[in-house]
Structure 1
Amino acid sequence: MGLRRAVLARNGLCVQVGDRYAVMPEEAMKVLFLTRYSQRGGSSRYMVHQYLPAYAQAGMTCTVAPLFDDRYFDFGVLDRPTGIGEIARHSLYYARRVLLRLRALIDSHRYDLVVLEKELFPYVPYGFEEWLRRRGAKLVVLFDDATYAYYRQHPFPLVRLLCRGKIERIVRGATHVIVWNDHLAGYMRRLNPRVSVVNSGVDITRYPPKDYRAPRTTDRLVIGWIGTPNGFPYLRSLETVFAELAQQYPIELHVISSMAYSSAHVQVVNRTWSMQTEVQHLHDLDIGVMPLPNDEWTQGKSGVKAVQYLAVGVPAVCSPVGVARRLITHNVNGMLADHPTAWRCALTRLLDDPDLRERMGMAGRATVIQSYSTQSVAPRLVDILLQAGRSA
């Protein structure tokens, strides 16, 4: 259900959110979004940027201040966490971005609500968030992954020491916490009762369905994966499965990412990710895959790549981890596979049956339209921010 209309009332702006009306003061609520990235960063794009039109329609005046802008994505180190060496090589850039974020914090008192993506500064101990809170900021914090687990499991002892308990302290001091996963909600509610769960969403108007009647561009069957290079180790877990399938079927693996993926077992076609070509590359897939190990970090992931496959009508095979358990109804809108034999069987069924691929793909798109589109998720997010902005 979308935002259907906005009408001016004598006591302020009256905005319909779902089946309710939220009465706003005559002056629009001013919201500062402190994101990690510009729109090129997946987490920021899917948690903030794509919802800005809905927030504006609801009468909010939105300012987005990313920690890292587009230039960050040209450094070529996105396959691993940024190290001291990279920071030193690009020291002027990082110094400038830190100063801009500090400036945004100083100006935060001008806003009715501050929305923070996870933390103010990665790898920096808790403190700036407390300063923001003590200045009286109403702080809504967004999490689409288990950042607390990342710090606990970090390979460098100094990072584990500096950031121990950081995320927990941020959550405790927040006015409200929004998470994209039930597993995250369970953890966060032990720290703060004001936690809301929303579904991962994609703008369904940007993701038209795959045309199954269109001529194929290749005589090979295409298995695809989309994501950042940080996820390549998960994809590599399917190498033995790909090797077996490649002996039986004319398959190729399409990898949509910012860096090239290589395989000794299957022919790989690398597609450089961009906002402009993303959907076309997804349309080229016959099957989308989302393999994940079952651990604390992956249980907190938002499952956006599976939502993207389903949005364009491509059937997905996923590990039954985190969001996938709720998103995928096995043998209806996709398949779940928890070990190599199950992966091989699921992919074989879909490779053998083009009609099954289409049926599952279209069922998946219907799931996204109903529950995992920005159009279905936006009203809930608007309602949460309006209530947080009005809270005492």
Structure 2
Amino acid sequence: MRRRAHAHRAVGRLPRGAPVAGPEGRGGTGHGGAVDGLGLPTLPERGIRQTTALPRHQRLGPSQGDGDAAASHRPRRRLGQARRGDDPPRPGGDPVAPRRRSGLAPAHRAGRQRAGLAQAAAEAARQRLPRRRRTPALAQRPRPGHGAPRRADPRDRRRPRGILLADRRCLQRQRLPALPRKGWRAAALRLRLRPPDRGKLGDGHGRAVPAARREPGAAAMSTRLLFVSKGEDASSTRYRALQFFPLWRAAGFEPSHVTASGGLRATLDMLRQARRADVVIVLRKTFPAALLWLLRRASRRLVFDFDDAVFCNTDGTPSRTRMARFAAMARACDRVFAGNAFLAGNAAAFNPAVTLVPTSVDTARYRVEAEKPVDSLDLVWIGSHSTRKYLAEAMLWLKVAADAVPGLRLKIVADFDLPGCGVATLPVAWRAESEAQELAASHIGIAPMRNDDWSRGKCALKVLQYMAAGLPVVSSKAGANAEVIVEGETGYLASTTAEWAERIAQLAGDAELRWRMGEAGRRRAAADYSIEAVFERLRSVIEGLA
């Protein structure tokens, strides 16, 4: 009786006398029996255990009449459940069972919904970013109005983007970072590094076009050159960049200089100016892999100019780190300018586009008249604190020469002095305005140096300055010095202490010989190593790139 009362209470919300439609359509009840006077279904004959409450979707609604025994109340749809009219009716007229609820917990379902929303937002952001249109090759692109493709132009080839990754072993040695290559982050990075006028002046491949191929309005614009170095006071910047600026402007170019050293602000300024230039020329400086990748992406044309053996240590020993950075720099550039034959041979191992551009001097600036001392014979050495070691190693033969030549004095045009070296010295602070005057007021120029890889990378700047000033030169037989000096005509090459002392004594005792060698050296410097002669070689290469 207790169970029967519980069943009556469970179905007490049914209206009095309302028939119940059973699942099998027998007797209009949900239990296969009849309805009593209170509107409650009677128990079947199989026992009280089958007397349970009707499911909600099988209960009758208040709007149904008492005489409609075949009608059934439509169940309330759950979240994610299809309408009842969409499912085909089962045979026998029984109602459609509700769909099974997902087995995921509410927290898991919410996490899946958030993941779907995040993915949809990322896809929308990716579609909103402007992407660089990759056009097919010109050989596959039909001409306007013609069905046949036109002949490919070799000038329209796409330039290589980023660091060339052909050598996988070298890539592993460089340990390049995982930089963005796909997705919306890479697209945003390309958008920031793309010059604003690249699409106007470019040929569709992200590079500048020559002036002959530009539009009439853009033909008058000059080619913009950007020189990147560690500072304006560096000798490589002064002799391989700044002294050519008047000639570049006279030829219709717009040269500018930016310092790459100085922290994050200087780096961002360099990248900002690089994307506006037509040709970027990096002077003697190598960069880490990530910064080199950014510079390569920002530059239309990239050139590496070096006049030192930056791939080894300063003592001439090999360096794996410097060699890896030098190799990456040479591979990433469109052209390499080398200061001498030794440097050009090392660069050609990583980039075949190498041009030999020797260091040059303004010979007109060194053609000055100065009074030479009469009571002493001055040997002059010009340099800096970084090359002091070469002069310190020459003190042995300088003492021997001082004993053989009375009144011998060493003039040091630099930022240091060598007191107590056993030879009379005359220190002179280096200044760009007075260096030509100090050289012209001397008798003999000396250039001692070692015979290692670092010394072989030197480009004989001291020798060229001595020759432009009209001085005979005595130098070590090593590196580019041996290529510039003509033995017995413009100077002498010495290897031992005895040879050094003998050549200095020979020049000290013959003023006519000093004058004749000085004039021959001045003519050679003006013909082969003047800024006018070297500029013509530079101009032809830069015009081909731009």
Match of 1:372 in 2: 529
SS in 2 for 1:256: strand
Q: Give the counterpart of 2:307 among 136, 141, 144.
A: 144
1:358 is displaced (CA, Å) by 0.6
1:319 is displaced (CA, Å) by 1.1
| 1:350 is aligned to 2:507 | yes
Cα distance in 1 between the residues matched to 2:458 and 2:503: 22
Cα distance in 1 between the residues matched to 2:305 and 2:237: 10
Q: Give the counterpart of 1:133 among 271, 281, 296.
A: 296
Letter in 1 for 2:235: G
Letter in 1 for 2:246: P
Match of 1:108 in 2: 274
Shift in CA distance, 293/163, structure 1 to aligned 2, threshold 3 Å: closer
Shift in CA distance, 162/99, structure 1 to aligned 2, threshold 3 Å: farther
Match of 1:359 in 2: 516
1:260 is displaced (CA, Å) by 2.4
Cα distance in 2 between the residues matched to 1:65 and 1:226: 27
1:346 is displaced (CA, Å) by 1.1
Letter in 1 for 2:382: I
Shift in CA distance, 134/54, structure 1 to aligned 2, threshold 3 Å: same
Cα distance in 2 between the residues matched to 1:186 and 1:312: 31
Q: Give the counterpart of 2:223 among 23, 26, 29.
A: 29
Cα distance in 1 between the residues matched to 2:322 and 2:451: 24
Letter in 1 for 2:408: I
Question: TM-score scaled to structure 1, two decimals?
Answer: 0.79
SS in 2 for 1:114: strand
Match of 2:127 in 1: none
Structure with higher RCO (Cα < 8 A, 6+ apart) = 1
Shift in CA distance, 151/259, structure 1 to aligned 2, threshold 3 Å: closer
Cα distance in 1 between the residues matched to 2:511 and 2:316: 42
| 1:51 is aligned to 2:212 | no
Sequence identity (%): 28
* 1:1-392 equivalence runs, <5 A: 25-38=219-232, 40-67=233-260, 94-95=262-263, 98-119=264-285, 125-150=288-313, 163=322, 165-210=324-369, 214=371, 216-248=372-404, 249-389=406-546
Shift in CA distance, 305/263, structure 1 to aligned 2, threshold 3 Å: farther
Cα distance in 2 between the residues matched to 1:151 and 1:260: 21
1:118 is displaced (CA, Å) by 2.3
SS in 1 for 2:244: helix
Cα distance in 2 between the residues matched to 1:153 and 1:301: 12
Greater alpha carbon shift after TM alignment, 133-142 vs 54-63: 133-142
Contact residue 317 and residue 453 of structure 2 kept, 8 A: no
1:134 is displaced (CA, Å) by 2.8
1:138-167 deviation digits (Å, cap 9, x = unpaired): 101111011001389679xxxx57545001
Contact residue 337 and residue 357 of structure 2 kept, 8 A: yes
SS in 2 for 1:150: coil
1:136 is displaced (CA, Å) by 4.7
Match of 2:166 in 1: none
Shift in CA distance, 133/371, structure 1 to aligned 2, threshold 3 Å: same
Cα distance in 2 between the residues matched to 1:227 and 1:373: 20
Contact residue 29 and residue 112 of structure 1 kept, 8 A: yes
Cα distance in 1 between the residues matched to 2:516 and 2:341: 28
Cα distance in 2 between the residues matched to 1:163 and 1:371: 32
Letter in 1 for 2:378: V
Contact residue 487 and residue 493 of structure 2 kept, 8 A: yes
1:218 is displaced (CA, Å) by 4.5
SS in 2 for 1:110: coil
Greater alpha carbon shift after TM alignment, 361-370 vs 98-107: 98-107
1:378 is displaced (CA, Å) by 1.0
Gaps of 5+ in 2: 1-210, 214-218
Contact residue 225 and residue 255 of structure 1 kept, 8 A: yes
Contact residue 448 and residue 475 of structure 2 kept, 8 A: yes
Query: What is the aligned residue count?
Result: 330
Letter in 1 for 2:386: N
1:240 is displaced (CA, Å) by 1.4
SS in 1 for 2:451: coil
Shift in CA distance, 153/334, structure 1 to aligned 2, threshold 3 Å: closer
Contact residue 417 and residue 427 of structure 2 kept, 8 A: yes
Cα distance in 2 between the residues matched to 1:188 and 1:358: 39
Contact residue 286 and residue 325 of structure 2 kept, 8 A: no
Cα distance in 2 between the residues matched to 1:316 and 1:362: 12
1:106 is displaced (CA, Å) by 2.8
CA RMSD of aligned residues (A): 2.1
Cα distance in 1 between the residues matched to 2:452 and 2:499: 19
Letter in 2 for 1:55: W
Cα distance in 2 between the residues matched to 1:164 and 1:102: 26
Gaps of 5+ in 1: 1-21, 69-93
Shift in CA distance, 281/23, structure 1 to aligned 2, threshold 3 Å: farther
1:31 is displaced (CA, Å) by 1.2
SS in 1 for 2:265: helix
1:95-143 deviation digits (Å, cap 9, x = unpaired): 4xx412322213321111111112255xxx3321122113353101111
Shift in CA distance, 263/143, structure 1 to aligned 2, threshold 3 Å: farther
